[in-house]
Chains A and B, each alone.
Chain A
Amino acid sequence: MRYFIATVCAWAIAACAYGQTAPNEAEKILGFADSLYKRQDYYRAITEYERFVFLFPRHSATPKTQLQIGIAYLKGQKPELAARRFQDLSERFQGQAVADQASLLLAETFYSMEQYARAIEVLNQYLRANTNANVDAARTLQGLCYLREGRPHDVPIALQPIKQNSTMKTSAEAIEHALSVYDQIPRKSPWVAGGLSALLPGAGQLYNHRPRDAALAFLLTGLFGWATYEAYERNEVVTGTGLAVLTFAWYSGNVYNACNGANKYNREQQRLFFDNLQVRCGYPLFSGSESWGVGVGFRF
């Protein structure tokens, strides 16, 4: 009997001790993971978050930690893995707040992957099912998606429900202003650039503000053309034909380079325009460290 009582007491003490230390252990792991995340060491942070999920699968912070793993993937330039994680969470926790947050983060991930149509689809589903505080931010992201997708007529429809006193009103106004100046983004015509380079190698590159490319295109095409001409002048047909093939390769490369340069210029201008717009909209809207209260110090 004495042994039995002693064993029961030992079990009770052990259980109490475990009960006291388990939350501390959870806090420690999560605190360490958060500190790694804060230092932008996302991959190591993911390992620590995964450790937490593995050790404490029934902990109340586990769903949010899984959300945080997805955010860390997104910030660590692995959007495909982030999308998979958010998709999984939005399906597994349907009807809970975590699922809604995962849906919004999934839309933002698709936006970062330039898959605007999929982002719009996810946001439409979210907006049909929710009326909470994040709805205006979802509409703002939807406006951005429409603008990026080349559907400017849908932008006002997406932003219209945002009320005057909403915190997202400034962002919505920034998008509406961007819509009005969208046609004024500087552009270069690939046709003009290609035509100029076809007439005079290097001219299209100068039109694209690429002087080194222009010099190299002019010199290479000109010199190969000159060498071809001189070879034929001397009746060196084999050398001349070989040089003519190379001249044609450089010439066509020069014309392609001019068209490519103009397209790259346009893409760069678009990128600058949208980078500026995103800053004014407060992007990232959902994966920013302050959006969810995720991260450091157990704020779940």
Chain B
Amino acid sequence: MIYLFFRLIGSPLYYKKAVFEQKRLEFAWGWLVLVLAFAFFQGTTCAYGELPWSIADQHDVVESFDLRPSHPAKLSVSSADSMAETVCFMFLKLYQDGLSSLGTVKCPMHPSCSNYCIQTIRKHGAPIGIMMTAERLIHEADEKKHAPMIRAYGKLRFFDPVAANDFWWAQSEK
């Protein structure tokens, strides 16, 4: 395990300097995978389920309604989408139907990061949508201290809609 760990992260402590020089790209990939995996899985720890009549005592629940159906609607690509948007949506559909549908990892935010990406792309177009999605993935860690909670799809989640992140420059719907 220790060997695999150091092999993955390519620690300069484990390898000789000459080997490190030869395999710098592999090391970069190893670290990237590690950081992404950490960022991906640490987000799931704060999403927790609850009994039908229980009340969350950790955070205020701003909305007590439950969203139906029990899963968010699946993405559908429309002919009105631009080429860049269609490519983005294809990747997102691949993610939602593949990795996400396995059910091993659940996003603790509402909307989930993939749905957030769809909403930002639909609202602001592909370039800004991708930038805002990268921003969402970065701010997810600290946002849990600030975001209110919402009951969505049977679980309490941190409420972080698109409007909460573009309110200072985009027209909000009231």
Contact = CB atoms under 8 A, between A and B. Distances in A.
B132 A213 contact: no
Given A227-B29, A254-B138, A263 B167 contact: yes
A257 B135 contact: yes
A227 B130 contact: no
Interface in A47-68: none
A81 to B, nearest CB: 13
A113 B142 contact: no
- Size band of the B side of the interface? 20 to 34
Given A213-B138, A257-B135, A261-B139, 10 more contacts: A77-B64, A190-B168, A211-B142, A227-B29, A230-B25, A233-B25, A253-B132, A253-B133, A256-B135, A260-B135
The 4 closest A-B CB pairs, nearest first, are A253-B134, A212-B141, A227-B28, A230-B25
A235 to B, nearest CB: 11
Q: Which secondary structure dominates chain B's binding surface?
A: helix
Given A224-B32, A227-B25, A252 B131 contact: yes
A253 to B, nearest CB: 3
Contacts of B64: 77
Nearest to A239: B25
5 contacts: A77-B63, A223-B35, A230-B28, A231-B25, A261-B139
A234 B25 contact: yes
Contacts, number: 83
A190 B165 CA distance: 13
A268 B142 CA distance: 14
A266 to B, nearest CB: 9
A87 interface: no
B146 interface: yes
B138 A217 contact: yes
B174 A113 contact: yes
B39 A216 contact: yes
